[in-house]
Structure 1
Amino acid sequence: MKTRYTREELAAAVGRTVPDVLGTGLDVLFCGINPGLMSAVTGHHFARPGNRFWPALHLSGFTLRQLRPDEQDQLPGLGLGITNVVARATAGAAELTADEYRAGGEILRTKVLAYKPRWLAVVGIGAYRAAFASPKAVIGRQAATVGDTGLWVLPNPSGLNAHFTVDTLAAEFSKLRDAVAAAPG
């Protein structure tokens, strides 16, 4: 898998979308904020080399080994999926508007009601707060649900999130993994 792209290739990816990784009967539907440019170029979620989603997913016990972004299609077989709050790719989440988060939250609710995962895990507290109009939400299990789907907020795995290391991210992911294991579906 190519890991270096030109400035022109990345600029051409602005506004593109990355297809969801979905299936019915999922244990967890992970939800990113929006695709970054590397994800838009490759068509794979969490594709930027500094992103810690894939290591945290593995270290928390969701996968037996660390998958690469180009192996994302293996996730539904493991009961996992990926989507985003906002579909359009940007160089950074700061480029998104409040209206996009609100509209993305509505689209996300519709997806969750259609696919019925046991858990929706939003990776990014700010994205969750904006999309679900929950300004005081904290990391972890939320009291709210979407239909029968439980809501969980995880820290943003971006390498730009200096508040969390791979190990502390994995610890947060593990709490969700424990919740999944405690109530088999």
Structure 2
Amino acid sequence: MSTPRRPTPAELIAAQDRTIPDLVGPDLRVLFSGINPSLYSAATGHHFARPGNRFWPALHRSGFTDRQLHPSQQFHLPALGLGITNVVARATARADELSPAELVEGGAKLAALVATWQPRVLAVLGVTAYRAAFGRPKAAIGPQTERFGDSAIWVLPNPSGLNAHYQIDGLATEFAKLRRAVA
């Protein structure tokens, strides 16, 4: 497979505030939720597309996929029982550009999406965003006590290359804990 071309600087600027369609459907084992799309992701239309984002390597190294997928191959995920969405739909250069109110509103929309599709687990990628969106200031990485209906909630580290607290091995370890829990 050839690598798709990178967006130009003008395309990245034009991607500000764009959205990416959710990758959802019935019978999902895990619905992964990023914080919000990067400008790179919005320009390409693929989740976790920014070079340096470690979502796809962590997904593979944890055993969710048998090979490392490129973001442009995201449409293979539903057949594996996996989906992708975001807490906040609009693209920004950095997640810290989101207001607390946007995160809370996004959390309510995410809860409604989970109620519609009823994945076994909602995995929110970013503990700080989870805390803000759902009013859980003491939440930690791992399974949460609350649920959305029949869907369990799990918090994973943010796979962004900007998250220095977790390198790829640590991310893969946390993703693998979730994979074993839903196996």
Task: Tell me the secondary structure at the aligned position of residue 66 of structure 1.
Answer: coil
Counterpart of 1:113?
Answer: 115
Say if 2:164 is the partner of 1:158.
no
C-alpha separation between the residues in 2 aligned to 1:3 and 1:160?
23
Counterpart of 1:69?
Answer: 71
Q: TM-score, normalized by length of structure 2? A: 0.97
C-alpha separation between the residues in 1 aligned to 2:45 and 2:7?
13
Q: Name the amino acid aligned to 2:147.
A: T
Q: Name the amino acid aligned to 2:27.
A: G
Q: 8 Å contact 2:16–2:39 — kept in the other structure? A: yes
Task: Tell me the secondary structure at the aligned position of residue 94 of structure 1.
Answer: helix
Alpha-carbon deviations, 1:69-113, whole Å to 9, x = none? Answer: 000011000000000000000000010001100000000000000
C-alpha separation between the residues in 1 aligned to 2:24 and 2:147?
19
Gaps of 5+ in 1: none
C-alpha separation between the residues in 1 aligned to 2:59 and 2:141?
16
TM-align CA RMSD: 0.7
Counterpart of 1:33?
Answer: 35
Counterpart of 2:106?
Answer: 104
Q: Name the amino acid aligned to 1:130.
A: A
C-alpha separation between the residues in 2 aligned to 1:49 and 1:151?
27
Q: Name the amino acid aligned to 1:31.
A: S
Task: Tell me the secondary structure at the aligned position of residue 142 of structure 1.
Answer: strand
Counterpart of 1:43?
Answer: 45
Task: Tell me the secondary structure at the aligned position of residue 52 of structure 2.
Answer: coil
C-alpha separation between the residues in 1 aligned to 2:48 and 2:70?
9
Q: 2:85 aligns with which of 83, 89, 95?
A: 83
C-alpha separation between the residues in 1 aligned to 2:13 and 2:86?
20
Regions of 4+ moved over 2 Å:
1-6
Gaps of 5+ in 2: none
Q: 1:139 aligns with which of 138, 141, 155?
A: 141
Q: Name the amino acid aligned to 1:33.
A: I
Q: TM-score, normalized by length of structure 1? A: 0.96
Shift of 1:3: 4.3
Q: Name the amino acid aligned to 1:128.
A: Y
C-alpha separation between the residues in 1 aligned to 2:41 and 2:62?
23
C-alpha separation between the residues in 2 aligned to 1:57 and 1:128?
20
C-alpha separation between the residues in 2 aligned to 1:74 and 1:61?
15
Task: Tell me the secondary structure at the aligned position of residue 2 of structure 1.
Answer: coil
Counterpart of 1:59?
Answer: 61
C-alpha separation between the residues in 2 aligned to 1:108 and 1:3?
31
